Structure 1
Amino acid sequence: MVIEWLKIKVSSELREKYIQKDEEIWSAALTKYPGFLGKQVWINPKQQDEVVLVIYWESRDAWKGVSATHMEETEQRFLREMGEGTYQIIEEGEYQVRKFPQPSTPQPSGNH
């Protein structure tokens, strides 16, 4: 699994609108792609002008396989809804989820 991580700066007055429009426009657009696994929106109670988007992808290929044209069209629609200059991506990252084998629980032998 691959994580797409975006930190957005948006005025505190527009934060809820941003979150709603992101769900309505971006999340809806991404669900059309088979490698999209889901998304979380994180808000920081101490930073009212910050939104973090955590987007889960099956693989890096699935994420990068999203049509650039579709991404641009979606961004333009989002921009029209939010308004020019109302938000900015200030950090972005890519993470891989590492899973470690869980130790097996010893089964009681019955010979105590």
Structure 2
Amino acid sequence: MVIEFLKFKVTPGTREDYLQKDTAIWTTVLAKYPGFLGKEVWINPQDSTEIIFIIRWATKEQWQAIPLEDLQAIEQKFAQAVGNTYELVESKEYQVQ
């Protein structure tokens, strides 16, 4: 299993809207791809602007097989839905042993 770790900063006061739209757009689409095992959302109780996503993939190959054009189209749709309210501040990959 591979973990995709994404850390975002959102504009103060936009977290709940951001999370609702992320679930409706990103999670819904990613769930249709082979290898998607699930997604956790971690919120920082000390910082309401920080959101961490833990996305579980069966294999790195399945995760990386998502066409770049698809990812760009999803991101464009998401950006239109939430506007300029977020920034990706960290992206990592982990393997589960």
Quickly name the TM-score band, shorter chain normalised: over 0.9
Match of 1:41 in 2: 41
Cα offset, 1:34, TM superposition:
1.1
Structure 2 stretches of 5 or more lacking a match? none
Aligned mates of 1:11, 1:86 — CA distance in 2: 5
Q: Does the CA-based 8 Å contact 1:11-1:48 persist in structure 2?
A: no
Match of 1:89 in 2: 88
Aligned mates of 1:35, 1:81 — CA distance in 2: 26
* Cα root mean square deviation, aligned: 0.6
Residues 67-92 of structure 1: CA deviation (Å, up to 9, x unaligned) = 11110000000000001x21000011
Q: Percent identity?
A: 46
Q: How many residues are paired up?
A: 97
Runs of 4+ residues over 3 Å off in structure 1: none
Where in structure 2 are the equivalents of 1:22-41 lying within 5 Å? 22-41=22-41
Q: Does the CA-based 8 Å contact 1:37-1:58 persist in structure 2?
A: yes
Residues 16-40 of structure 1: CA deviation (Å, up to 9, x unaligned) = 1111111000001101101100000
Aligned mates of 1:6, 1:76 — CA distance in 2: 18
Structure 1 stretches of 5 or more lacking a match? 99-112
TM-score, normalized by length of structure 2? 0.97
